[in-house]
Amino acid sequence: MANRVEVALKQSVRDARGRRVKREIEQFLHLPVAEVRTIDVYTVDALLSWEELDQAAAGPLCDPVIQERSIDRPIAADFDWIVEVGFRPGVTDNVGRTAREAIEYLTGRQFQQGEAVYTAVQYLITGTPSPLAGEAGTGQRQTVEGDGGLCRADLERIATGLLCNTLIQRFTILSTAEFAAQGGFPAVVPRVAENAGANGRSSVQEIDLEVSDEELIRISREGVLALTLEEMLIIQAHFRSDEVRAERAKVGLGSSPTDVELECLAQTWSEHCKHKIFSGTVQYEDEQGNSREIKSLFKSYIQQTTKDVRAKLGDRDFCLSVFKDNAGVIRFNDDWSLVFKVETHNSPSALDPYGGALTGIVGVNRDPFGTGMGARLIFNTDVFCFADPFYAKPLPSRLLHPRRIYEGVVEGVEHGGNKSGIPTVNGSLVFDDRFCGKPLVFCGTAGIMPSRINGAPSHDKSILPGDLIVMTGGRIGKDGIHGATFSSEELNENSPVTAVQIGDPITQKRMFDFLIRARDKGLYRFITDNGAGGLSSSIGEMCGEVGGCRMDLAKAPLKYPGLNPWEILISEAQERMSLAVPPEQIREFLTMAKSFGVEATVLGEFTDSGIFHMLYEERTVAWLPVSFMHEGLPPLQLPAKWTPPKQEEVKVEVKDNYTDVLKSLLGALNVCSKESVVRRYDHEVQGGSVVKPFTGVTNDGPSDAAVVRPLLDSFEGVVVAHGISPRYSDIDTYHMTANAIDEALRNYVAVGGSLELVAGLDNFCWCDPVLSEKTPDGAYKMAQLVRANEALYDVCLAYNLPLVSGKDSMKNDFYDGGIKISIPPTLLFSVIGKIEDARKAVTMDVKRPGDIVYLLGTTAAELGGSEYFALLGGVGNGVPLVDTTAAYSRYQAYHRALLAGVVASCHDLSDGGLAVAAAESAFAGGYGMTLDLARLLWKGDLAARNDATLLFSESASRLLVTVSPDKSDEFEAIMADTGCSAIGVVTLAAELTIAGVNGAVVVTSGLAELKEAWQATLREL
């Protein structure tokens, strides 16, 4: 029988978790609550003596200074309602796992098969003494005495709206009376029910593909295979081949594919894994009606960019490994190489924001760790795109409120990053209401590895036939089944719950601690990550390296019995790496794993048979030619037609004073301070922080980019920055892309990044661009993708930016049959590079009164897609155009000035234009600024030159710089002919004053007011 251990804070101790829930109930559900207190529940389902149980409760489970405990006796008292929230069967329960380990240490005995500890949390809710109407106007509230003015429906809202994600958690609500009558909650053991075949054994099904086309479509849809009819027909044809049938007969397989084979192909061929859109053949027609065929956007643009940039760089080329591994590798110095990858985890974050985002960050950690021979992880970056957290309109069912997504994602990445000991150094929050259909959760991780390990280049690796297939880390469960295929479809009402996983940073950390030491001892030959598609993908790809494999799925360690072989193969259960270990090293590898508390299992061996050969208890369950898996799919045919959209023009307001506009812009979601989020992320662990996310006299000005010293005994720094501007996609994705790249590079340059060693990384998040019934505007969306790729090539080539890695996520839509919500096409462009001497880094805060303020770059009437137009409720058409030639020479000159030590501060101009940048630099530094708009360099028709445009235009490639007067001559000499003008001065008075083109003051405000406007919006979130 299971026992319940309950642990509660002593009455005198502040319950921070309870208070937070109380605040959220009041703020988001508008229900009156007097108090919320919480109790931790451990359901121990194991054979323990009473003394052992008591010791466990008293020891590891309870902190005697602040907590009290009870066993099998409810501890809760003094509440109106109580809600207990626990996990559903099979959901990762990290705390339960740690409790189990603690009890094992205590008793000196391992738990038996099937024994476990499960956790739950109780929320004790006390309403307000007088039953005030919770919601005005409902009039129907059925509340009775003793319920604190809350009815059961209110509690349901609290449970489902805040406390519990019903996909992964269960909840029970009891009133005081019910709780008393029942004597508390019964012990709930959420063990996974065994659902394998009738005899309790795992089973393999054959799937008959000799059926009608309609039936093929049904098989794909109902199985969440995400295979098109065309793809199903290719599979059908493969299994019809006499040659294939003869070979299959030899291994005891019939002429129909097994579920293992079909699932494996579905994973391997999923959009998520195969990038069918980027490798498809596009028939592109431009606005003049000119047509051309593009064979693979990936090869034609992304790979071509890198190829051409590398050729241009010649012997200055610093790329070491691009596109072929889990992450890109570039040179850092003679002895060290840098590794970088950015991933998205959008679909899981839409369903379970916390688990999805946590898995996103710990998942991308495995990419650099699984690159080359494995890299030590040095920082994380994250960029989130959400709808307005204060969104107040109705949402389609199944979509979570943006606020919950915000909370969950922020917390998931917080736990994933902080617990892994990797500083989160750079990021953004971007808001657009179309992201309510799918939030975008970009997570990036960089690593560093010695350029040579055991005498060989660390970025190369190989597998030899006969090497053993080894899986390390977590066990396999049903979590994350169909993650790859489900994220290759739009989110819909039937999206599978099993696609959600919860990461466990500590299991992964233990594994990394072990593997990095195994790496240095040369105990493995090849390492890769188990991500989307699980073993089918990792072993499938490794197979491609060596030519085949033979693996017994029954050997894989499981979280609980009853998984079918296909589930074992494709489960995306987290914290696993796959390795090729030479047979002569296996003993030492396994022994070392054991001593580090890491599970490592030999599953089979690599071969050169040409066959991906899976067994289950030595019986063949999958036999697929590697060539068919990896090359069996013909390219998609994708129509694309570019018709430039014509947005309604927006009229610039003509006003005497724009101070209020500036304050509104500072408070806009895309501009305002994100400090309440950023402070929750450890950005300093590992000790290498040089330019932090916040800077300035009171540590609260927004830095443009991060500088980190990964080697503590060196001053060489890594610089990382990013650019993202989805709003410009409403006008032209070419310019959206160009601006994102330019923003990334100018942020990078601003803090001191060198143009000699900087690489780019592209993350495309698109709405489905494949023309179909569901997507009638597919040809336009595909053309948007083509134009984005054209810009990627053009701008990266001009900026000498090789692309070293990237990812695309192409199905960011919500569709429930009626409502369709598509995200704006979004490119996140990240750059990583070097600053030779981190002590030369520059921050964005103004430093001294009297310093001269320069604006680098020209301003034009480019308010299309701007924050200012958004404030006016429109989009417009005059999107900022990037002049790469002018910008690049400006950035080069600025970098020389920075190295010469004449730059006091530098801040990039982006959302909100000059006015916002000036306000931020001024209040960050604590000194005022007087600026003169008449002194800005203008480009284009003078008729369009007016105060509002000069203040808020988002013209690209501009930097706001301050320079000490005694260095201004030198600065101006260095910047000569690059578009640099002195536009004002830093003042002791803490005020921002901007004179308009006619000399009259058009903006004037105390810095405190501006800062308050900037900080207020998200302060309480």
Instruction: Write out the catalytic residue numbers.
Output: 272, 345
Closest CA to 481 of 538, 534, 438: 534
In sequence order, the β-bridge partners of residue 604 are: 469, 551
Q: How far apart are CA 159 and CA 177, in angstroms?
A: 19
Question: 677: Cβ–Cβ under 8 A, 6 or more apart, which residues?
Answer: 410, 429, 1018, 1021
Provide the binding-site residues for other proteins, judged by CB under 8 A.
Answer: 13-14, 16-17, 19-20, 59-61, 63-66, 94-95, 97-99, 101-102, 105-106, 108, 414, 418-421, 504-506, 509-510, 513, 517, 595-597, 678-692, 694-697, 699, 709, 712-713, 715, 838-839, 841-843, 845, 847, 925
* Concatenated DSSP letters of 276-287: HHHHSEEEEE-T
Give how far the C-alpha of residue 606 lies from the chain's centroid of Cα atoms, to the nearest Å: 33
Q: Across the chain, how many H-helices and E-strands are there?
A: 32, 41
Pairing of strands 637-641, 281-285: parallel
Burial class of 906 by CB neighbour count within 10 A (0 to 12, 13 to 18, 19+): buried
Closest CA to 768 of 634, 630, 638: 638
Q: How far apart are CA 496 and CA 492, in angstroms?
A: 9
Q: Name the helix (H) or strand (E) containing 242.
A: helix 242-250
Rounded to the nearest 5°, which phi and psi values hold at 779? -65, -35
In contact, 521 and 514? CB cutoff 8 Å = no
- Using CA atoms, how far residue 766 sits from 225, 454, 825, in Å, is 21, 42, 5
Give the single-character DSSP code of 942.
Answer: G
Q: How far apart are CA 393 and CA 951, in angstroms?
A: 32
DSSP strands (E only) in 796-892: 803-809, 813-815, 820-822, 826-835, 852-856
Q: Name the helix (H) or strand (E) containing 660.
A: helix 659-667
Pairing of strands 758-765, 803-809: parallel
In contact, 160 and 397? CB cutoff 8 Å = no
Question: 392: Cβ–Cβ under 8 A, 6 or more apart, which residues?
Answer: none
Give how far the C-alpha of residue 467 lies from the chain's centroid of Cα atoms, to the nearest Å: 34
- Using CA atoms, how far residue 108 sits from 51, 58, 95, 760, 952, in Å, is 14, 17, 19, 52, 67
Q: Name the helix (H) or strand (E) containing 1005.
A: strand 1001-1006
Q: Name the helix (H) or strand (E) containing 346.
A: helix 346-351
Quickly count: other Cβ atoms within 10 Å of residue 451's Cβ: 18
Closest CA to 703 of 907, 885, 896, 518: 907
User: CA neighbours within 13 Å on the CB side: how many for 891?
Assistant: 29
Closest CA to 931 of 987, 991, 995, 980: 995
The pairs formed by 57-60 with CB atoms below 8 angstroms and a separation of 24 or more are 57/5, 57/7, 59/102, 59/106, 60/99, 60/102, 60/103, 60/105, 60/106
Question: 375: Cβ–Cβ under 8 A, 6 or more apart, which residues?
Answer: 327, 337, 339, 368, 369, 447, 448, 449, 458
Taking only Cα atoms into account, the Rg of the chain, rounded to an integer number of angstroms, comes to 29
Structure tokens at 562: 């009853």
